[in-house]
Structure 1
Amino acid sequence: MKKMRPLLSVSLLLALLVSCNTHPSKKENDMSESRFIAEAQRNEVISMLKDSLGETAYFRIERGVRQVADLWREPDGTAGEFAEFCKRSFVADEARLDQLFHTLERNFEVFDGYFHKIDVLLKEPLQLEGEEITPVDMMFGSYDVTAHLNDDLYANKIAFITALNFPFYSLQEKTGLGEKWSRKEWAYARMGDRFTARVPATVQQNISKTITEADAYISDYNLFMGKLRNDNGEQLFPDDMKLISHWGLRDELKSNYADTVRGLEKQRMIYTVMKRIIDQTIPQQTINSDKFTWNPGTNQLFENNAEASASPEPDTRYKIFLANFHAMRQLDTYFPHYPTQLSRAFDATMEIPQKDVETLFKGLLSSPEVKEVAAFIESRLGRKLEPFDIWYNGFKARGGIPEEQLTAITSKKYPNPKALETDLPNILVKLGWKPDRAREISSLIVVDPSRGAGHAWGATMRNDIAHLRTRIGAGGMDYKGYNIAVHEFGHTVEQTITMNDVDYYVLNGVPNTAFTEAVAFLFQKRDLELLGLKNPNPEDEHYLALDNFWSSYEIMGVSLVDIRVWEWLYNHPDATPDQLKEAVITAARDVWDTYYADILGGKGETLLGIYSHMIDYPLYLPNYPMGHLIDFQIGQQVRGKNLADEMDRMYTQGRIIPQLWMKNAVGSGISIEPLLASTKAALYALKK
């Protein structure tokens, strides 16, 4: 599941996420046409400041003046007023610069924190269980309370003071210089990231509106599994099973490896449902409705035992995806350093170059260990692998325990959200935190009943609340909900620690979303231990390596599809939803045939196109496999040590760049090599 809106300022994050249906005129959207301060005027101001302030300030003068000039518009003042502003506002004295930094940092925390609280409250009717969502709920929930903040901060010159005095550093510069920076220098550099683009409030409001609509579409896309029928008219799933796409479907498929009677038949049915969602042949009447029974294999609908007319979902999935693209494309000319969503996703947000990410993924996908692990899975299943075995979870401790047994435990232990919230300190103690510290962290986390599969939404100011959201049915929390809740709890613990215990507010958080996914995975793999169940796999270390490897193998291919589709969109900006659907299917087939068909069969398989994050959270998917790699390396680091102590040591580094964070945390950068080596060792040991 995802961590909501991490890493950057609230308004910028909204700008970096989902979609919008309107397009500004070329003039409004062309930053170069809006440039007001000429090159000669910039150079004149730079020379004036250098002459008066001396050589030690040269770099900051050069960088700062050019940053302000790039952002200055005619309504901000004349060229003479620009020059006077720079002369009056540039701070050369170190003590005064430090004072300015702390003033800005304190007040940005106030803005971020309280606007965030408003946003959380306005979105509650959309994200939490409750009454049916009304159009007015959608209007309030899609309203971006921060949309005008940046406009106001430019108008009153606070943005310009920040950009003038705190230089922006590119990822390449941070990589080259960051290892020698002090904590204060890193904090100054992060302050320099604050104002690098000037996105109009109208664009941000449109983005917020479509983000909310896309999230609502995905969060409220449920299938009533008790209404599915096989060719013999048989019902395979319980009456009350309601699963969200794709997370719920995937997790149900995984759970059926423990069902030796009809598990395989259930998995094949879910697999068929997924493919119908991808190609949009799924009947619209089956989505969020229990009125009809449905045979996914034949695609027939029935009402009262009589066949009913079915109409396919009208490419809604791809209309929303396309809207994402149009929104992100609106932002391109406002971000001179990051002119595409691809560059924003990798260089700005993940802070790892796209080519480096793809090299890691392709290295693992092409490794000889893939065939060896696949053969090992075949030997455990006693059959040839099928495409849906990409989600094989028999390496997990819970893989051999029937889900009904686990649900009986979780539903009794957690009959409602309050029961889970009350137990959070106990969970942390089991994971290694001292009781007082466990209570301190848990006091800043609340549990909410989610409409969707679940998510974590951290605070954006110190001593505020993080929200852990998961599904809890009328009969209590089932095992799927519990497993997700443990994952989301990992997120909220990270969010709380990195918000409250990092030394500078501007360094709060983690280098990128993959790092919070790593914590979530560390928690999630201990879910049975937290229930007091003994791990049935005696060679746990080896099975954990294989589980991480196979999970990485799965999600790396999905991520490559996501990347390829975004590259296709930039080459086909006028595509229709139907053309986008075909592009997704083509990309899914190509990646499948390159890395999966020889292993799992199904040449031309489309399954890699099922992930919901492709629809509601653009280019988020690569964070998951990066999270698996980081999780594995961190897991090796904490083995035999106290998890709480290691988390405090590693995660209080805050938001420095990923590779430096990893070097400080585990002694080396992000790599597939530790996982490949452990996978080899695991196969050798388990085949004995």
Structure 2
Amino acid sequence: MKDLIFIVLFSLIFGFMACNTDKIKSDDMKEAEYISAATADKLISEMKDSLGEDHAFRIERGVKQVAQLWRESDGTTEDFVDFCNSSFVSDSEELSKLFTTLERNFEVINGYYHKMDVELKMPLQLVGPDITPVDMMFGSYDASAHLNDDLYSNKIAFITALNFPFYSLEEKTELGEKWSRQEWAYARMGDRFISRVPANIQQEISKTLTEADAYISDYNINMYKLRNDKGEQLFPDGMKLISHWGLRDELKSNYADTENGIEKQRMIYQVMKRIVDQSIPVKVINNDTYTWNPYTNEVRDNDVVSSPSEDIRRYEIFLKNFHVMRKLDPYSSHYPTQIDRAFDGTMEIPKKDVEELFKGLISSSQVKKVAAFIEARLGRKLEPFDIWYNGFSSGETVSEDRLTAITSAKYPNAEALEKDLPNILVKLGWSTEKARQISSLVTVDASRGAGHAWGAEMRNDVSRLRTRIGDSGMDYKGYNIAIHEFGHNVEQTITMNDVDYYVLNGVPNTAFTEAVAFLFQKRDLDLLGLQNPNPEDEFYLALDNFWSSYEIMGVSLVDIQVWEWLYANPDATASQLKDAVISISKAVWNEYYADVLGGEDEILLGIYSHMIDYPLYLPNYPMGHLIDFQIEQQVRGKNLASEIDRMYTQGSIIPQLWMKNAVGSPISIEPLLSATDRALEELNK
């Protein structure tokens, strides 16, 4: 699922950065060195003497930050000195007033720019007429591209940076546990201006990521046009699936089909490999004119039709994302690469810690034990696509056709789903009044893509649930995704409207909003009245979470290693990038999956569309699984709604502190490993 979409990515643009590599240093960056270290140090000494040592830390950190951001166009050295002397606020009450003013006005600015962005992107994201070149121009336009330039020009950015110090992740980790809510809010205000990215770069990033999103949103396979070697059609008429989400979910659903399920799964698996290695014919992408045998790669329209492969288009999009995100590097002294920004900056968990968690789980002894359990249930050896096995349940699996019949009748259109949102929340434990309050701030739209949730940027504005609804109503896949996305909307609404400070709105990182989405998604059958409580449910829940983590952690390691390869090979071509993705996918598979699922040199881990669509987003999913499991243990036996309200109103403090406050311990794989052992012990009795 594509979540928190552009907000998450644009936070990379508007946060962090100052100056780094000489290779791509611009004239603008040379201007940023206008204030010398000697000038800043002299001023710091004078201000300390004048105002006293009680203000020493804020003076030193603030003056250095402003000096780093000041350019010749902002004024002379004397202007810089005068500004710092006149704009530094030493009185605590006056500082509080300044904070309140800044916070209020940033909410106004962020909220209304966000509204513009939502409206301009609607033709690209919602069901409607074909996208025109002009639609793409407007959808790619970033109305706020010049905002940071303006805030530096009118000195608001400098006032903020001078008075509210930036703290590194290490400092937040060391000090944050003892901070008051106001101190946390001040620290988050200090994160606001640590870079100065030119508007043209912001605009280029917006355009590039929008184009990538449009490419993926229209990457559909007409499944009813697929043929096996006997020329047979396996999938129902009209079935159209987006890559990778729809393909993966259809593969999962076929574990319930004991007659043709395995053959359909093998065909989907073959389609996926064609997408990764780009041997997929262009004429079968989002086109229902021809039939296609994904094994032989033959395209037919009565007779065999010649169709070139997609070749490297997927990797051209990926490479453009790398190049455009790398343009932020020279402006980032705190987070000098996209990798640093994704982990230390946005996730706020060091990459080495994330990789240690992932590798610890996927190399654990529990992997082969769970694999053996799955084999026993399937009655066959596991195949590579069983990385998506989802048959962890205590009873018979309800068929996809039956589920679709229920969901399509219940939700024939977006309006029906929106009308039912309050009822869904009441079933999950919210009071009728609170359910209405939350759902009144969520609107549902029919999406071109697989669906996503897009939160508001100001209080009392709506968050948006975009979901795919067919002509015959919402099928089960669409419903399952919609419940996931609604979890995001609920988190977005609570953390925007119920958190005490605007600058603390949201969650520590996107993994935490994924956790709420998973909590909702796994209750989708409960919400339809189709799942009765079973004493074994908690054991199957543990195994499902473990296997899902096993799958997505490998995918995430591929994503991380590909970005590391790109930084090591910045002049690579799209063809070389394709080879690298395939090579890295094979290496990770061979190390962690081949002994369990077979298939030496498999490339399946390269299928995720997030790699193409959202730079380095994937690691948030497995972190979300771990957080979700620990939260699930926390809420067991308690009111889900009350616990979500309690935990999520902490807002966007750092992840590990958030977890300690929420569940009593930091993010860890140990609770999941222990629960997996216990589940296997109980279920194998």
- TM-score by length of structure 1 reads 0.97
Aligned mates of 2:455, 2:393 — CA distance in 1: 28
**Among 671, 678, 684, the residue aligned to 2:681:** 684
Are the counterparts in 2 of residues 11 and 147 from structure 1 also a CA contact under 8 Å? no
Displacement after TM superposition at 1:301 (Å): 0.4
Aligned mates of 1:469, 1:665 — CA distance in 2: 29
Q: Secondary structure at the match of 2:577?
A: helix
Cα–Cα, structure 1 residues 126 and 398, in superposed 2: closer, same or farther, change >3 Å?
A: farther
Amino acid corresponding to residue 72 of structure 1 in structure 2:
W
Displacement after TM superposition at 1:538 (Å): 5.0
Displacement after TM superposition at 1:669 (Å): 0.1
Aligned mates of 2:320, 2:371 — CA distance in 1: 38
Q: Give 1:110's aligned residue.
A: 108
**Among 122, 130, 133, the residue aligned to 2:131:** 133
Q: Give 1:389's aligned residue.
A: 386
Q: Give 1:225's aligned residue.
A: 223
| Residue deviations 1:496-553 (CA, integer Å, cap 9, x gap) | 0000000000000000000000000000000000001124865100000000000000
Q: Give 1:402's aligned residue.
A: 399
Displacement after TM superposition at 1:26 (Å): 3.9
Amino acid corresponding to residue 622 of structure 2 in structure 1:
P
Cα–Cα, structure 1 residues 60 and 398, in superposed 2: closer, same or farther, change >3 Å?
A: farther
Aligned mates of 1:363, 1:555 — CA distance in 2: 13
Q: Give 2:321's aligned residue.
A: 324
Are the counterparts in 2 of residues 29 and 333 from structure 1 also a CA contact under 8 Å? no
Cα–Cα, structure 1 residues 398 and 282, in superposed 2: closer, same or farther, change >3 Å?
A: farther
Q: Give 1:495's aligned residue.
A: 492
Displacement after TM superposition at 1:612 (Å): 0.3
**Among 286, 291, 300, the residue aligned to 1:288:** 286
Q: Give 1:598's aligned residue.
A: 595
Matches within 5 A, 1:267-346: 267-304=265-302, 306-346=303-343
Are the counterparts in 2 of residues 286 and 294 from structure 1 also a CA contact under 8 Å? yes
Amino acid corresponding to residue 674 of structure 1 in structure 2:
P
**Among 506, 519, 525, the residue aligned to 1:509:** 506
Q: Give 2:523's aligned residue.
A: 526
**Among 665, 669, 681, the residue aligned to 1:672:** 669
Matches within 5 A, 1:555-570: 555-570=552-567
Are the counterparts in 1 of residues 14 and 195 from structure 2 also a CA contact under 8 Å? no
| Residue deviations 1:393-414 (CA, integer Å, cap 9, x gap) | 0015797111000000000000
Aligned mates of 2:28, 2:589 — CA distance in 1: 39
Matches within 5 A, 1:132-171: 132-171=130-169
Q: Secondary structure at the match of 1:132?
A: coil
Displacement after TM superposition at 1:27 (Å): 4.8
Are the counterparts in 1 of residues 40 and 63 from structure 2 also a CA contact under 8 Å? yes
| Residue deviations 1:282-323 (CA, integer Å, cap 9, x gap) | 00000010011000000000002x111020003110001001
Displacement after TM superposition at 1:33 (Å): 6.0
| Residue deviations 1:37-76 (CA, integer Å, cap 9, x gap) | 0111101111111111001000000000000000000000
Amino acid corresponding to residue 124 of structure 1 in structure 2:
M
Amino acid corresponding to residue 263 of structure 1 in structure 2:
G
Displacement after TM superposition at 1:4 (Å): 2.2
Q: Secondary structure at the match of 1:243?
A: strand
1:355 equivalenced with 2:352 (yes/no)? yes
| Residue deviations 1:90-130 (CA, integer Å, cap 9, x gap) | 00000000000000000000000000000000000000000
Q: Give 1:20's aligned residue.
A: none
Cα–Cα, structure 1 residues 253 and 535, in superposed 2: closer, same or farther, change >3 Å?
A: farther
| Residue deviations 1:552-581 (CA, integer Å, cap 9, x gap) | 000000000000000000000000001000
**Among 199, 205, 208, the residue aligned to 2:206:** 208
* Runs of 4+ with >6 A deviation: none
**Among 262, 265, 270, the residue aligned to 2:263:** 265
Amino acid corresponding to residue 410 of structure 1 in structure 2:
T
**Among 543, 547, 550, the residue aligned to 1:546:** 543
Q: Secondary structure at the match of 1:400?
A: coil
Are the counterparts in 2 of residues 7 and 512 from structure 1 also a CA contact under 8 Å? no
Matches within 5 A, 1:324-473: 324-396=321-393, 400-473=397-470
Are the counterparts in 1 of residues 468 and 478 from structure 2 also a CA contact under 8 Å? yes
Aligned mates of 2:52, 2:15 — CA distance in 1: 39
Aligned mates of 1:11, 1:158 — CA distance in 2: 20
1:184 equivalenced with 2:182 (yes/no)? yes
Aligned mates of 2:449, 2:13 — CA distance in 1: 20
| Residue deviations 1:174-196 (CA, integer Å, cap 9, x gap) | 00000000000000000000001
Amino acid corresponding to residue 224 of structure 2 in structure 1:
G
Cα–Cα, structure 1 residues 396 and 218, in superposed 2: closer, same or farther, change >3 Å?
A: farther
Cα–Cα, structure 1 residues 16 and 74, in superposed 2: closer, same or farther, change >3 Å?
A: closer
**Among 478, 481, 484, the residue aligned to 1:484:** 481
Q: Secondary structure at the match of 1:197?
A: coil
- Percent of matched pairs sharing the same residue: 73
Q: Secondary structure at the match of 2:82?
A: helix
Aligned mates of 2:311, 2:201 — CA distance in 1: 27
Q: Secondary structure at the match of 2:304?
A: strand
Amino acid corresponding to residue 606 of structure 1 in structure 2:
I
Q: Give 1:236's aligned residue.
A: 234
1:619 equivalenced with 2:616 (yes/no)? yes
Are the counterparts in 1 of residues 484 and 520 from structure 2 also a CA contact under 8 Å? yes
Aligned mates of 2:533, 2:386 — CA distance in 1: 22
Q: Secondary structure at the match of 2:549?
A: helix
Aligned mates of 1:386, 1:260 — CA distance in 2: 16
Q: Secondary structure at the match of 1:65?
A: helix
Amino acid corresponding to residue 208 of structure 1 in structure 2:
S
Displacement after TM superposition at 1:588 (Å): 0.4
Aligned mates of 1:198, 1:27 — CA distance in 2: 13
Displacement after TM superposition at 1:5 (Å): 4.1
Aligned mates of 1:360, 1:6 — CA distance in 2: 27
Aligned mates of 2:474, 2:11 — CA distance in 1: 35
Aligned mates of 2:6, 2:468 — CA distance in 1: 22
Aligned mates of 2:204, 2:376 — CA distance in 1: 52
| Residue deviations 1:315-346 (CA, integer Å, cap 9, x gap) | 11000100111011110010110000000000
Q: Give 1:78's aligned residue.
A: 76
Aligned mates of 2:60, 2:606 — CA distance in 1: 47
Are the counterparts in 1 of residues 514 and 624 from structure 2 also a CA contact under 8 Å? yes
Are the counterparts in 1 of residues 14 and 148 from structure 2 also a CA contact under 8 Å? no
Aligned mates of 1:34, 1:166 — CA distance in 2: 20
Aligned mates of 1:627, 1:27 — CA distance in 2: 36
Displacement after TM superposition at 1:2 (Å): 2.6
- Between 1:294-303 and 1:40-49, the stretch displaced more is 40-49
Aligned mates of 2:38, 2:433 — CA distance in 1: 61
Are the counterparts in 2 of residues 142 and 209 from structure 1 also a CA contact under 8 Å? yes
Q: CA RMSD in A?
A: 1.6
Aligned mates of 1:671, 1:460 — CA distance in 2: 31
Cα–Cα, structure 1 residues 196 and 671, in superposed 2: closer, same or farther, change >3 Å?
A: same
Aligned mates of 2:527, 2:548 — CA distance in 1: 22
Q: Which runs of 5+ in 1 are unaligned?
A: 18-22
Aligned mates of 2:24, 2:315 — CA distance in 1: 25
Amino acid corresponding to residue 207 of structure 2 in structure 1:
K
1:52 equivalenced with 2:50 (yes/no)? yes
Q: Secondary structure at the match of 1:496?
A: helix
Are the counterparts in 2 of residues 163 and 192 from structure 1 also a CA contact under 8 Å? yes
Displacement after TM superposition at 1:34 (Å): 3.4
Aligned mates of 1:478, 1:145 — CA distance in 2: 36
Displacement after TM superposition at 1:6 (Å): 7.3
